[in-house]
Amino acid sequence: MQNKILNHGDTDALREKILDAFASPWFFRILLWLAPILFLLSFFFLPLSKILILAFNTSAFTKTNFQLILSTLSFTFYQAALSTILTFVLGLPSAILFSRFNFRGKSLLRALTAVPFMLPTVVVASSFNALVGNHGLFSSLIPNPSFLISSFTLHPSSFILILSAHVFYNTTIVIRIVGNALSRLDPKLEAAAHSLGADAFRVWKNITLPLLRPSLLAAALLVFMFDFTSFGVILLLGGSHFSTLEVEIYLRVLKLPNLPLAALLSIVQLIFTLIFSILYTRTINQVTTQTAPRFSIARKPKTIRERAFVFTFYLLLITFFALPLISLPIRSLTRLEADRGQRGEVQYGFTTDYYEELFINRRGSLFYVPPIQAAVNSLGYASITVLLSLALGYPAAYALAKPTRLEKILDPLIMLPLGASAVMLGLGFIISFGRSLASPWFVPIAHTLVALPFVIRTLQPALASIPERLRQAASTLGASPFRVWQTVDFPILSRATLSAATFAFTVSLGEFGATLLLTRPEYPTIPIAIQRFLSQPGGLNFGQAMAMATLLMLLTTLAILIIEKLRLPNSGEF
């Protein structure tokens, strides 16, 4: 009888310990992280481990492969370094323009320079094709510019187009990072140097440049990293002729199958990308610790030299950024001589034929569905991506809003997909899931991997800003935890939630690298449809690509406006 009583007492004690464990804050935090970590383990770390295993396959370690990797890596560094230099040639004077001077249309021009950064790479590539490609406005309207010394400016090589596109969407990084640092500098330092007899060059060299060094380095690292991992722009503007790491991985998966070599290339790229990411994180921390500005130092240009500088770069920026963006919708609504297409007639001027053709599946098309179905597929994938990203992002953001030692360990892990290229993610899925990839669900899963870090970073500041006293007050009044969330948390989080959802939606709409490897022919997305149309000869195919790119640009621009409208103050530029 006594043993039974003791056993019963032990059972009660054990039950109390279990209940205490379930009620502990640590159990709640582990529960928050369970779904995001399981998702990453299944769809990021498992494919990454498969790539690592395949990369160290003995068949990949050959002299020919190492020579290919070295040459590919060299060209990747070369084009990224050259693109970064050219970006600074335009971006640094532009940063000075926006930070030091006030002029009419400044806000609109600043917004114009930021639009290309948020556009999908296929839209950026299509806009340059619409302007100066083989079927572009300049090439079609002025095919033989004999009045020019050279037609180089109207018919640039593919490599020049790639460099121009990189400058096009990366210049805003220099403008915002370096420009913000310039606007934080105390003007008294420069004034004191001038009063001591220093000229403008010595002030820049001895005062301004040392203070800007962290910002310049951070901007250079970020621009270089984006150029280093560029895929859509290089593939669409240069084809497979330019062997960067991303393009070579794609070729070794689909065109010239050699999965061990593709895995080895992916590991090389991942190592360098992580190095750049770590360097950028350390550098940007030095930038953000500088003192915030107390007042604006921007003023109207006074001297003739300042007016000439403002006018020159104002005109240059409008021309460089507006022309490609405007050319895309114009070209999608313009029939030129080269666009004979299926109908055989030759027409000039305004036409809606390219948009009408999107609803038709003509014989011989590469599609199993009408091209407009690609838009429906993209919207479906984007909707699923939003649901998955929010379902996984909310628990992680809740945990990160009040970080403990556990979050300090898990935070870098959940951001790791940012260091992996989309093409590498697609390769990892192919190696890990094989025949299961016939399911279209893997496309939104891959999109969620790309979007999840952005969603978490969007929700985290909003969650951290909720005053704990409001939750405690609601609880003391008898509100249940769900009622507290409904009445206190969600009204504060609604803007951030909509912003995060829009971000995930936009990322999914424009994702190209992983989708190109994973999508099935009967389920194309808008970026895949654009790539297929551009790869086919004929003006009709080109016009349909421009129409699809225009639709994608409009959807993305609308999403950008929503994000900017809902973005929390002081949430950072990038």
CA distance 530 to 56: 36
Helices 442-464, 422-433: axis angle to 10 degrees equals 130
Residue 81's pLDDT band, with cuts at 50, 70 and 90, is very high
CB 120 within 8 A of CB 524: no
> Which residue do the tokens 């998702």 mark?
39
pLDDT of residue 152: 38
Q: What is the pLDDT of residue 23?
A: 47
Mean pLDDT over residues 57-72, rounded? 82
Taking residues 301-323, what's their average pLDDT? 90
Q: How confident is the model at residue 291 (pLDDT cuts 50, 70, 90)?
A: very low
* Beta partners for residue 335, in sequence order: 349
pLDDT at site 460? 83
pLDDT of 154 over the 50 cut:
no
Residue 46, Cβ neighbours under 10 Å: how many? 16
Intervals of CATH 1.10.3720.10 along the chain: 73-328, 361-574
At 312 the pLDDT is 92
- The pLDDT of 35-43, averaged and rounded, is 91
pLDDT at 84 over 90: yes
Q: Among 144, 487, 525, which Cα is nearest to 371's?
A: 525
Q: What are the distances in angstroms from CA 327 to CA 80, 113, 138, 216?
A: 26, 16, 10, 32
Residue scoring higher pLDDT (380 or 143) = 380
Of 43, 37, 35, 44, nearest to 387 by C-alpha is: 35
pLDDT for the residue 15: 52
The pLDDT assigned to 369 comes to 66
pLDDT digits (tens, 9 = 90+) for 207-224: 777 778 888 898 999 999
pLDDT the model gives residue 164: 92
Which DSSP letter does residue 418 get? G
| Helices and strands in the chain, H and E counts | 26, 2
| Residue closest to 231 by CA, chosen among 253, 216, 215 | 253
Per-residue confidence (pLDDT) for residue 538, from 0 to 100: 74
The confidence score (pLDDT) of residue 83 equals 95
- Which of 204, 185, 181, 184 lies closest to 194, judged by CA? 204
334 secondary structure, DSSP code? E
User: How many angstroms separate the CA atoms of 264 and 270, rounded?
Assistant: 10
Q: What distance lies between CA 454 and its chain's CA centroid? A: 10
pLDDT attached to residue 571? 52
- In this prediction the pTM is 0.80
> Does the domain made of 73-328 have the CATH classification 3.40.50.450?
no
Q: What is the DSSP letter of 241?
A: S
The reply to whether CATH 1.10.3720.10 applies to domain 361-574 is yes
Mean pLDDT of 110-116: 85
> What does 452-509 look like in DSSP terms, one character per residue?
HHHHHHHHHHHHHTS-HHHHHHHHHTT--HHHHIIIIIHHHHHHHHHHHHHHHHHHHH
Q: Give 316: exposed, middle or buried? Use CB within 10 Å, 0-12, 13-18, 19+.
A: middle
Question: What pLDDT is recorded for position 139?
Answer: 67
Answer whether residue 356 shows pLDDT above 70. yes
SS3 101: strand
At residue 502, the pLDDT reads 86
Encoded amino acid at 421, one letter: S
Residue with the bigger pLDDT between 97 and 418: it is 97
- Taking only the tens place, the pLDDT of each residue in 503-524 is 889 889 888 888 888 888 778 8
The mean pLDDT of the chain is 79
Q: Give the best-scoring range by mean pLDDT among 27-31, 37-41, 368-372, 555-559.
A: 37-41
**Residue 86 pLDDT > 90:** yes
Determine the average pLDDT of the residues in 461-477: 77
Does residue 277 have a pLDDT over 50? Answer: yes
